[in-house]
Amino acid sequence: MSKKFLTLISVMLIAVFVLAACAPAATPTAAPVEPTAAPVEPTAAPVEPTAAPTEAAPAATLRVWADDTRAPILQDLAEPFKAEYGVELVVELKSSIRDDFQNAAPTGEGPDIIVIAHDQAGTLVANGLLAPVDLGEKADLFVENAKSACTFDGVLYCMPYATENLGFFYNTDLVATPPTTWEEVVTIGEALKAEGKVDYIMSLTGTTYDLYPLFTAFGGYIFGKDDLGNYNPQDLGVDNEGMIAAATWLQENVKKGNLPTDTDWANNHALFETGKTPFIMAGPWALDRIRQSGVKYAVTNFPGGGYPFAGTQGFFINAQSKNVLLAQAFLTEFVATDEVMQALYDAGKRPSAYIPVLEKTNDPDLLAMSVAGEKATMMPAIAAMGSVWGNWADAITLIIQGKQTPEAALKDAGVKIRSLISGAKAGMVNVPGSYQAAVGCSADWAPDCDATAMTKGEDGIWKSGPFELKAGSYEAKVAFDGSWTLNYGVDGKQDGDNYKFELTADGKVSFAFDPATNILTIIIE
């Protein structure tokens, strides 16, 4: 057993005794391990071994869950970590890390460390499944906005390694000087359109996240913050004057034919990549396809001082782990190094949250995105955000389609969101999906629609329907409390894939949900 591991064990023991003396009675995160037997003095001289001694088994195992991009990099640390601590590092490849962890951790079956985005961590923190992270002497080596993304109620819960946000792309063959205001976006775009060089003044790749820099440029926001810097769900800005002003700009330019009514991500990227629009707001995940298209472009800040949402990727420690201090040591001593952080950057192509690597980054696009995101709003990781996305997106869609005025659509969305946040739909079990508008809901994918709400039977099964539907393909999933905060998809997985079903002819559909398994049964008549 290595001296370093013995030292760590000693630290753990001391920590346990100190905590026991200074804190109220509580279950320690890790108990000291009793030796299997007291050491015995030899009764005779040692005998030469008849065969070479076998390597001692590792004193402990540290398990990490990561995706296919990060797992190989972390696995390369197994040998040096074992050499240093005498501990086996096991890196397991996972595709649905948050969901699997949420199910496994409470039973003690989860890994010691998970690698996820910060906005997936809010619920885990609220449920007591994640442990605070101490970056120690290396705290100043991480960018502040990345650390703030993983901070809940003033406590840091991750070691960040990457950030990501949108940037403002412009076609350099069409635009010599990028616009600094949204009025200039219109002026430049309309001139190019009049010359027949483009079809639209800008691509629209979505309705909410992708348009957030437009909304913020006009003074829109989602949640304000309290005195401690935490998001305040009672300060909702989805229907404030700035948001309405931005939506008015959006609707007016759609009516003029300046903007497409189709907000499909792939279609609008194709418009920019073929030179049919001069501007697009895009993230680092789109760089490969934009570069491969051959379009000449540059990345700059958003017009009007707008700022995007930002996300942070990080390492989180299981609060139920028996190896919390060991996990801390692995992160700060083995992952928080120039070499490993550089490898994570090279693999993921996201601006590094580790300052020594960020300062050496020479990718002009990522550097420009980093500058565009200096004032970015970290994606709210609070539960109330689950009540926002669907209603907000519905409102923007209605605005783009010209079916409602910006004020009416956003005010209605605000009422619905505040109702959900206040718990007005608490206890509702629903089956939102692509069929809802056809059966009496105001829109599809509405988790708060009363028309499709389920009723609990005496057998404990929740049921809804039958609903009469036209022949066609549909999708659905189960949602609780009138929002997307808690939802279940295929195989009963939280935040899982949508259920898909098809009617080959006009018919009736009913739904049955078993809360014991979280599985939805779809009955087609």
Give the DSSP per-residue string, 154-218: TEE--EEEEEEE-EEEEETTT-SS--SSHHHHHHHHHHHHHTTS-S-SS----SSGGGHHHHHHT
Q: Distance between CA atoms of 256 and 131, rounded to whole angstroms?
A: 53
Sign of the Cα pseudo-torsion (323, 380, 489, 516, in order): positive
Q: Are 171 and 297 contacting, i.e. CB atoms less than 8 angstroms apart?
A: yes
Q: Are 372 and 105 contacting, i.e. CB atoms less than 8 angstroms apart?
A: no
The C-alpha angle 366, 367, 373, rounded to 5 degrees, equals 85
What pLDDT, on a 0 to 100 scale, did the predictor assign at position 454? 96
- Characterize 23-51 residue by residue with b for buried, 16 or more Cβ atoms within 10 angstroms of its Cβ, and e for exposed: eeeeeebbeeeeeeeeeeeeeeeeeeeee
Beta-bridge mates of residue 313: 117, 162
How are beta strands 151-152 and 155-156 bridged, if at all?
antiparallel
Q: Distance between CA atoms of 286 and 309, rounded to whole angstroms?
A: 16
User: Residue 374: helix, strand or coil by DSSP?
Assistant: coil
The C-alpha angle 487, 490, 493, rounded to 5 degrees, equals 50
Cα Rg for the chain, rounded, in angstroms?
27
Burial of 137 (0-12, 13-18, 19+ CB in 10 A): exposed
Query: Which of 450, 376, 463 has its CA nearest to residue 419?
Result: 450
- Give residue for tokens 């783009």: 400
Q: Distance between CA atoms of 410 and 393, rounded to whole angstroms?
A: 10
SS3 content of the chain, % helix, strand, coil (to 5): 40, 20, 40
Chain centre distance of CA 216: 20
Task: Give helix 3-22 / helix 78-85 axis angle, nearest 10°.
Answer: 70
What pLDDT, on a 0 to 100 scale, did the predictor assign at position 397? 96
Q: Distance between CA atoms of 500 and 365, rounded to whole angstroms?
A: 39
Query: Which of 356, 374, 316 has its CA nearest to residue 165?
Result: 374
The C-alpha angle 500, 69, 310, rounded to 5 degrees, equals 75
Q: Distance between CA atoms of 264 and 283, rounded to whole angstroms?
A: 15
Q: Give domain 167-307's CATH architecture.
A: 3-Layer(aba) Sandwich (3.40)
How are beta strands 151-152 and 113-117 bridged, if at all?
unpaired
User: Residue 60: helix, strand or coil by DSSP?
Assistant: strand
Q: Which CATH class is domain 3-37+54-164+311-372?
A: alpha beta
* C-alpha pair distances (Å), 210 with each of 207, 248, 371, 501: 6, 17, 17, 29
Q: Give domain 426-524's CATH architecture.
A: Sandwich (2.60)
The two tokens of residue 317 are: 């420690």
Same fold, 3-37+54-164+311-372 and 167-307: yes
What pLDDT, on a 0 to 100 scale, did the predictor assign at position 321? 94
What pLDDT, on a 0 to 100 scale, did the predictor assign at position 47? 43
Q: Distance between CA atoms of 124 and 130, rounded to whole angstroms?
A: 6
pTM: 0.71
* C-alpha pair distances (Å), 229 with each of 154, 213, 244, 411: 8, 21, 25, 26
- Give residue for tokens 């300046």: 258
Burial of 77 (0-12, 13-18, 19+ CB in 10 A): buried
* C-alpha pair distances (Å), 183 with each of 214, 248, 385, 522: 12, 13, 31, 50
Helix (H) / strand (E) element for 90: namely: strand 87-93
Torsion angle, alpha carbons of 303, 304, 309, 314, to 10: 70
- Extract the residue ranges of the chain whose pLDDT is less than 50: 1, 3, 5-58
Spans of all domains in the chain: 3-37+54-164+311-372, 167-307, 426-524
What pLDDT, on a 0 to 100 scale, did the predictor assign at position 276? 98
Torsion angle, alpha carbons of 474, 480, 485, 486, to 10: -90
Helix (H) / strand (E) element for 418: namely: helix 406-421
Beta-bridge mates of residue 297: 171
Q: Are 435 and 506 contacting, i.e. CB atoms less than 8 angstroms apart?
A: no
Helix (H) / strand (E) element for 508: namely: strand 507-514
Helix (H) / strand (E) element for 502: namely: strand 499-503
